[in-house]
Structure 1
Amino acid sequence: MNSKRLFQSVAEQIAQLIDEGAYPPGTRLPGERELAEKLGVSRVTIREAEIALQAVGRLEIKTGSGVYVSENKPLVGDALPSASAFEVTEARLLVESESAALAAHHISDEAIARLEILVERMRTGTPEEADEADEQFHLTIAESSNNAAMVHTIQSLWRMREEIPEVKATYQAVCIHDAESRTEEHRAVFDALKARDPAGARAAMREHFHRLLENMLEATERKALEEVQQQASQSRERFLAAAKIG
C-alpha cells in the first residue's frame, strides 16, 4: 500500500469502523481471526494494528479478556515534551528494564513466539521492516508486563522516539549504523524472557540501552568532529583564496 505500513492502513480501517458505530465505545472487538478475514490481512497485522490503536487511546487490550473500544478520548494531539534523544533513552532504560522483568513473570507462549518472529525480522528485514519489528518487540513486552501504567508510559516514550524529529533522527542514525548489535541485544532479551528469568531480562534490556546511549555519545562526537573539520576546511580555503589575491 504505497509506502504506508500495512498495519497502519488496517488501523485506520478499524478506527473508521469504530467512528461509524460498528463497534461502539466499551464493546469488545471481534477476535483476530474474524477481523483478519474481514479485512483480508494476517492475524499478525491485526495484532499490530490493535497495538497501534491502543497507543493512541482508541482501544484497550485486556490480557485474557480481549480488545475493547476505549470509552475515553483518544490521545492523538497530546503535546509531547521537548526532550533530547539522551533523555528519552535514559527514561526507556529505567522503565523498559523493569517492564522486561515483569513480563518474564507473566509472558504467554504466544507472546514468546511473536517475539522470536520479530527478532528474526530485525535480522533479515529491510531497515523499515527492522524498525517496525523493533517497535513491536518492545510494545509486546510492555503488554506482557500486565501493568497498564507501564504500558502507557512505554507507549508515550515510543511516541517521543517517533514524533520528536531530533530524537527520531538520532535513533535512525544509531540503529542503522549498528544493526547487527541491535539484533543480538534483542535476542538476549528474548532468550531471558523465554527462560522466564526476570533478573536476566532486566539485565539484558539494561545492556541494550547502555549500548544505545554509548553509541549516541559516539555519534554526537563524530558529528561535532565533522563540523569542526568542515569549518577548518572552509577557513583554509578562504585563507588560500586571500593569499592568491594578495
Structure 2
Amino acid sequence: MRQALQLEERELASSEPNGSESGDMQFHLAIAEATHNSMLVELFRQSWQWRENNPMWIQLHSHLDDTHYRKEWMGDHKQILAALIKKDARAAKLAMWQHLENVKQRLLEFSNVDDIDFDGYLFDSWPLDKVNA
C-alpha cells in the first residue's frame, strides 16, 4: 500500500492532465488483496475494468484533468493507510467511508442531473460532508 501511495504521489506530481492512475488502482487493489478474499479481489478487478470502459465514467473522468480532486482523494488514501497501520478498524472504516463519500460528492458535482439518462440511485443517500460513527 505504501508503494502504491508513492506511485500515486509521483503520478500527481507530474501534473499531467488525465495522467496515469496506476497508483490509485494499485492502492485499492492492495486493500482488496489484504483481505485474503479472492472473491473481493476479483470483484475489484472487474469493477475497475468496467469503470475504465464505461461511457459514464469516461465522461465524469474528463472533469478530473485538474489534479486537485485526485490529490484530495490521495489524502483520503493516506488516512486509510494510517488507520490500517495502527490496526484501528474503526478509524479505517470511517476513513474508507469518508473516501467513498468524498468521491461520490465530486462525481455528483460533475453529473448532469437533468439528463434523462442520469441514474440518481447512486447518489440517493444522505449527502454527508463528514462520516460519523
Tell me the residue number matched to 1:169.
Answer: 59
Residue from 134, 146, 157 that aligns with 2:47: 157
Count of residues in correspondence between the two structures:
111
Residue from 208, 214, 223 that aligns with 2:99: 208
Within a 5 Å distance, the mapping from 1:172-211 to structure 2 comes to 172-174=62-64, 176=66, 178-211=69-102
Distance 1:113 1:141, change over 3 A: same
Deviation at 1:165, TM superposition (A): 2.4
Q: Structure 2 length as normaliser, TM-score?
A: 0.69
Residue from 217, 224, 230 that aligns with 2:108: 217
Q: Structure 1 length as normaliser, TM-score?
A: 0.40
% identity of equivalent residues: 25
Q: CA RMSD in A?
A: 2.4
Residue from 38, 43, 61 that aligns with 1:148: 38
Determine whether 1:117 maps to 2:10.
Answer: no
1: CA distance, partners of 2:74 / 2:33: 21
1: CA distance, partners of 2:78 / 2:3: 13
Deviation at 1:125, TM superposition (A): 3.5
Runs in 1 of length 4+ with deviation above 4 angstroms?
A: none
Q: Secondary structure at the match of 2:111?
A: helix
- Could you list the runs of 5+ residues in structure 1 that have no partner in the other structure? 1-111, 225-246
Pair member with larger Rg: 1
